[in-house]
Chain A
């Protein structure tokens, strides 16, 4: 069973478009996260959600918005995509701020 899953795995789109990446975890964890990994492989946290409340919002553009329909899902919506948004985006989940379990990643390419 996949613990943390993301769709799609690859996403190629043009500048200015709006896109979403879905994430689901079946671990029963109470916190979910979104990370961005840039071309230099540096992993940086973007958001975390605990019981539908945003806990951390790093200095990301407001074109990015996390949406959590329920405890098991945290989707990432991106409006007006820019070239600099190209990266690999990882979803993760954890219980009680303990170790995080990561999804397989979504490679976003903006052309």
Chain B
């Protein structure tokens, strides 16, 4: 069965403490791997799309990487405003499977 699994469920960091979030997938025929950010009470906001193993994308303090079986979202020197739930999703055509998310809290 196609699955997307994220770890850890929750992560608490001090401001400036870099870390990584993991997304492993068993989606056959994966077309793309997506990362989203979701703030409380809001809809998910698109961050990155990765299509092939070895691909990397960066945006401010975030960098997403992709291997054949998993993706990482690296957060460098996070700030309190980076606190949110980060969701990854695998897609086959118009079917998108989301992981349960990692709830990130960055303390000042």
Contacts and interface: CB of A to CB of B under 8 A. Distances in A.
Interface centre among B36, B44, B97, B98, by most A CB within 10 Å?
B44
Nearest to A6: B43
Contacts of B98: 42-45
Query: How would you classify the secondary structure of chain A's contact residues: helix, strand, loop or mixed?
Result: strand
A7 interface: no
A43 B91 contact: no
Q: How large is the interface on B (under 10, 10 to 19, 20 to 34, 35 or more residues)?
A: 20 to 34
A43 B36 CA distance: 12
A20 interface: no
Interface string B49-89: 10000000000000000000000000000000000010100
Nearest to B34: A99
Interface string B92-103: 011111101100
Contacts, number: 54
Q: How large is the interface on A (under 10, 10 to 19, 20 to 34, 35 or more residues)?
A: 20 to 34
A50 B96 CA distance: 14
A50 B95 CA distance: 12
Contact of A100 (B85, B96, B97, B101): B96
B46 A97 contact: no
B94 A103 contact: no
Given A48-B95, A99-B49, A104-B42, 18 more contacts: A31-B94, A33-B96, A41-B101, A42-B98, A42-B101, A43-B44, A43-B87, A43-B98, A45-B95, A45-B96, A90-B43, A97-B94, A98-B32, A100-B34, A100-B44, A102-B36, A102-B44, A105-B41
